[in-house]
Structure 1
Amino acid sequence: MARSVYLTSVGSGGGKSMIALGLAELLSRQVERIGVFRPLVPSTGPDHIIALLSERYRVDITPSDLAGATYAEATALVSNGRREELISRVVQRYRAVEQQCAAVVVVGSDFADSSDGAPSRELAFNARLATEFGSVVVPVVDGYGQSPEAIAAAARGAYFDLVDLGATVLAVIANRVPEPMTLPELPVPAYAIPEVPSVSAPTVAEVAAALGATLLAGDEAALGRDVLDYVVGAAHVPTLLEHLTDGCLVITPGDRDDLLVASSAAHVAGQVSVAGLVLTLGEQPDPRALRLFEGLNTGLAVLSVASDSYDTVAASSRIEGRPSAANARKVEAALGAFEANVDTDDLARRLAVSRSKRVTPLMFEYDLIDRARTRRRHLVLPEGTEERILRAAEILLRRGVADLTLLGNPDDVARRTRELGVDIAGAAVADPATSPLREEFAQAYAELRAHRGVTVELAHDIVAQPNYFGTMMVWAGHADGMVSGATHTTAATIRPAFEIIKNLPGVSVASSVFFMLLADRVLVYGDCAVNRDPDAAQLADIAISSADTAARFGIEPRVAMLSYSTGSSGAGEDVEKVAEATALVRQRRPELAVEGPIQYDAAIDPAVAAMKLPGSAVAGRATVFIFPDLNTGNNTYKAVQRSAGAVAVGPVMQGLRRPVNDLSRGATVPDIVNTVAITAIQAAALAEAS
């Protein structure tokens, strides 16, 4: 069983960051703790791959301990005939990391081409280290600017060279290849990943840093735009407009106010999506022109540099973007490209890393994306012009998590995507007010709510509301689930679901859970958002639904029915309700591990459990916590969230015929991504069960 995978370049560059991300993501779903190691790192400054993987995968080892030696140290040792000493030092430092992690991604040194065609000393060095580490090797071939024949030859050569050097090759990956391309058949899998401009393109911020530019206008979002092209503005306005391209950075002398305003107007009008503007020669635009630019609300950055346009373009064209922890969009684009072109299931089997029985927060979060991708569903997001929804949609589409329909006026959605610089290509956009489905939905809703006196005329207005329209899409089968609530209240999100979709057969009450991501485990809390004061039968339903939800997401359900009393130590109406609910759960689901009434400390702390309920299968190790009422549940989840630094994912609705989930109005983009993935998994499970 390999405990580490070793990446080594074949040719300079190669985009190892993307491949390292993909393999780390794969391993993070299998084991509790992954590590990263680089045999050689630059002598000055942080190593960007160590920084990226350490932050994303929460590698809490000092960065200096994640490297074997600096290039300067390695050069000094080798030049003095002490190569074996270098090998020994690097291996020793690797072992220290390996002892702390269940699996390690090793990113080898940069490849130095051999002049005589034989495997270079550096490739041999990486192969030797991989053997000493006990790692399997993934050679990465850089296909950028290469012909398919040259890439195929390099892939074959990489495999056989490494095998001749005694390495065990897991797979061969050619990165940044021209599309379409198939690699030659080898004894191991060979994958080709096409060039992804949004990964390799620099951001406006990276260009600004490289040029030493001064920011005249624009915020952090404007600096995060990808630069896909460069356009020099020197001619008249009509000529410039003809040459603008999507994602272009306009470089023009600072005194060309006409080109500044024209480029901005073209961007705002939707004729083109500009990345930003660079004003050269150290010239400042007329303040009146700059005020006009700011009044247009372009969402673009304006940079100022001292160099002329020619030198600025030459310097900019040498800048290459790369994923970093500070740029989530590039990270998600890189992972999306890796997962779309590499058979990650087969690769995971070949790695043969034993999956942890315990579900950690990191494993839980990254497993959501993987599970949603494998059973892709179509979801509707009613808040189609909200910034967080659009940024989350970009990530979801790049990772292939779900097919999406955004609700809103198409022109408004397009305008917001241009302003934010996001790419939601592939998402459908529907306007409830003008959709041809509105009449059909109005007729159906009127029939569903006729007992409440709803007429077709009234229904026509109701279904034009985004949450009602989205819920009707789910009810009618045009979508598999819905996520809303970033700008709507919980009631506005879930009321349509209660009216239209309704509960599963045999479930008396729909309810909700929060996944509580603590430092070392994931717990399930229910119900903390929907049912105010459930009776015993409803509480039993909530417990069973919550246990099923936990199991669906890889958490072994051990259910604690919470009360202020443990066992028979207390009495009263509230305790009796919990005791009755516990009995009902045992009667309906005798195979389910459940304990109650039980206090929270006895449910979670083995030492307290040993005193209060010795021999219990649940006490001290509960994973599902069922609160007796909404007041207790809501306050407890918020107290744990704030005082223990837990991440609360939810509320996740359960017990409905089709999944509809609510977002907190303070939801972040990662919260939305997680909730959509959860909804997709729920939709797939309900489809399989029907």
Structure 2
Amino acid sequence: TRVMVHKAQQSPKKIVYPEGEEEKIIRAAQSVYEDKIALPILLGNKEIIENKIKEIGFDVSHFEIVDPERSNKSEIYSNKFYEKRQRKGITLHEAHLMMKQPNYFAAMMVEMGDADALVGGLTYHYPQTLRPALQCIGVRDGLKVVSGMYIVIIKRKIFFFADTTVNIDPTAEELAEIAITTADAAKAFDVEPKVAMLSFSNFGSASYPQSQKVAKATQIVKQLRPDIMIDGEMQADTAVVPERLEKEFPFSTLKGSANVLIFPDLDSGNIAYKLFQRLTDATVIGPIINGMKKPVHVIQRGDTVQDIINISAIAVVDASR
């Protein structure tokens, strides 16, 4: 995270926080401002937010505060959102109502260029932050899916896990896309990606549709991005124990321990990161959303102020890419 904070400080951006009335958000926004990571925009009732800022003892002038219910941008955002969604069942009246919701208003702020990144989700369920972002901003050109990545730091080693939060049962094509966007994200952290496509099978040892899907995804990545070091399908221990890989599978195009671990489905990815988070002393950072057209990063209900600061720094670097 120090790498990300340092990178963010070189080019601070405007971050919008839809849950601007929450104390944790206000505290994180203050740190982000003080450390010159970003310029925070807090959404919510102006009076409530200003009172909370004063109660905590911060300076109101450090924050831009926007009330979606009273903003003069609401009309512009509603019309733009209606334009995007009119053939997907949204009426103009519904668009106006939706723009009163901070999660939709924040996503449109980013889409319209009034903010550079969105960080939210502290009081929402995961889809309540992701869905408005997908409807307002959308997936990056050339991609079909977004995916959720966690950074897992353990025993002084860094790993990137995906997809941990979005796609329940990705196809081979989607899995290939997830592998590519995760490898590119690792590079943004100054880590040279070594990608393992995980399965219960090692290179055809247990040939079932589930493992064949992973093998097919691996081939797609190799064709589309020959610059990425990748192999699979392989078991998790094969991926992270280089001696085993070299001894039993010397033909593998993966050399050394993998640091990007791509899971075959959401079950395995979600379970894996949560076990690391709860049963080990690993530092687990995320989820980081890869594949959005503009930066949207989801925080979670139990996140600490420091977690929010970390994700904010990542959002700024994402916006600078």
CA RMSD, 1 decimal: 1.2
Between the aligned partners of 1:657 and 1:666, the Cα distance in structure 2 is 27
In the alignment, is the contact (CA less than 8 A) between 1:394 and 1:424 conserved in 2? no
Match status 1:557 vs 2:189:
no
Q: Residue 61 of structure 2 aligns to a residue in which SS?
A: coil
In the alignment, is the contact (CA less than 8 A) between 1:390 and 1:424 conserved in 2? no
How many Å apart are 1:644 and its aligned residue? 2.0
Q: Which has the larger radius of gyration?
A: 1
Give deviations 1:389-438, integer Å, cap 9, x for gaps: 11111110000001111001111001111222234532200000000001
One of 409, 421, 443 as aligned partner of 2:79: 443
One of 214, 218, 221 as aligned partner of 1:582: 218
Bigger RCO of structures 1 and 2 (CA < 8 A, at least 6 apart): 2
Q: Residue 24 of structure 2 aligns to a residue in which SS?
A: helix
Between the aligned partners of 1:648 and 1:529, the Cα distance in structure 2 is 14
One of 237, 255, 258 as aligned partner of 1:622: 258
Match status 1:395 vs 2:27:
no
Between the aligned partners of 1:612 and 1:488, the Cα distance in structure 2 is 47
In the alignment, is the contact (CA less than 8 A) between 1:474 and 1:482 conserved in 2? yes
In the alignment, is the contact (CA less than 8 A) between 2:172 and 2:213 conserved in 1? yes
Q: Residue 384 of structure 1 aligns to a residue in which SS?
A: coil
In the alignment, is the contact (CA less than 8 A) between 1:468 and 1:496 conserved in 2? yes
Q: Residue 425 of structure 1 aligns to a residue in which SS?
A: helix
One of 93, 110, 118 as aligned partner of 1:457: 93
Between the aligned partners of 2:89 and 2:212, the Cα distance in structure 1 is 40
Q: Residue 62 of structure 2 aligns to a residue in which SS?
A: coil
In the alignment, is the contact (CA less than 8 A) between 1:503 and 1:510 conserved in 2? yes
Partner of 2:135: 499
Q: Which amino acid aligns with 2:129?
A: T
Partner of 1:42: none
In the alignment, is the contact (CA less than 8 A) between 1:383 and 1:487 conserved in 2? yes
Between the aligned partners of 1:615 and 1:581, the Cα distance in structure 2 is 18
Q: Which amino acid aligns with 1:530?
A: V
One of 8, 12, 19 as aligned partner of 1:383: 19
Give deviations 1:243-263, integer Å, cap 9, x for gaps: xxxxxxxxxxxxxxxxxxxxx
Q: Which amino acid aligns with 1:605?
A: V
Between the aligned partners of 1:654 and 1:606, the Cα distance in structure 2 is 28
Partner of 1:372: 8
Between the aligned partners of 1:535 and 1:568, the Cα distance in structure 2 is 18
How many Å apart are 1:519 and its aligned residue? 2.9
Q: Residue 378 of structure 1 aligns to a residue in which SS?
A: strand
One of 278, 284, 288 as aligned partner of 1:642: 278
Between the aligned partners of 1:482 and 1:558, the Cα distance in structure 2 is 29
Q: Residue 416 of structure 1 aligns to a residue in which SS?
A: helix
Between the aligned partners of 1:671 and 1:433, the Cα distance in structure 2 is 29
Q: Residue 177 of structure 2 aligns to a residue in which SS?
A: helix
Q: Residue 403 of structure 1 aligns to a residue in which SS?
A: strand
How many Å apart are 1:506 and its aligned residue? 1.2
Equivalences for residues 672-683 of structure 1 within 5 A: 672-683=308-319
Partner of 2:65: 429
- Per the normalisation by structure 1, the TM-score is 0.46
Partner of 1:514: 150
Between the aligned partners of 1:395 and 1:519, the Cα distance in structure 2 is 28
Partner of 1:485: 121
Equivalences for residues 5-404 of structure 1 within 5 A: 365-404=1-40
In the alignment, is the contact (CA less than 8 A) between 1:604 and 1:619 conserved in 2? no
In the alignment, is the contact (CA less than 8 A) between 1:368 and 1:677 conserved in 2? yes
How many Å apart are 1:499 and its aligned residue? 0.9
- Give identity over the alignment, percent: 38
Give deviations 1:292-316, integer Å, cap 9, x for gaps: xxxxxxxxxxxxxxxxxxxxxxxxx
Match status 1:655 vs 2:291:
yes
CA separation of 1:533 and 1:478: change in aligned 2, threshold 3 A: same
Partner of 1:668: 304
Match status 1:526 vs 2:162:
yes
Which segments of structure 1 move beyond 4 Å, counting only runs of 4 or more?
none
Partner of 2:246: 610
One of 42, 64, 71 as aligned partner of 1:406: 42
How many Å apart are 1:454 and its aligned residue? 1.4
Q: Count matched residues.
A: 321
How many Å apart are 1:505 and its aligned residue? 1.4
In the alignment, is the contact (CA less than 8 A) between 2:30 and 2:62 conserved in 1? no
In the alignment, is the contact (CA less than 8 A) between 1:602 and 1:619 conserved in 2? no
One of 96, 104, 107 as aligned partner of 1:468: 104
User: What are structure 1's unaligned runs of at least 5 residues?
Assistant: 1-364, 686-690
Between the aligned partners of 1:554 and 1:381, the Cα distance in structure 2 is 27
Between the aligned partners of 1:570 and 1:620, the Cα distance in structure 2 is 23
- Per the normalisation by structure 2, the TM-score is 0.97
Partner of 1:599: 235
User: What are structure 2's unaligned runs of at least 5 residues?
Assistant: none
Q: Residue 565 of structure 1 aligns to a residue in which SS?
A: coil
In the alignment, is the contact (CA less than 8 A) between 1:595 and 1:619 conserved in 2? no
In the alignment, is the contact (CA less than 8 A) between 1:397 and 1:426 conserved in 2? yes
How many Å apart are 1:617 and its aligned residue? 4.9
Give deviations 1:477-522, integer Å, cap 9, x for gaps: 0011100011111111010111111111111111111111213111
Between the aligned partners of 2:308 and 2:23, the Cα distance in structure 1 is 11
Between the aligned partners of 1:421 and 1:617, the Cα distance in structure 2 is 56
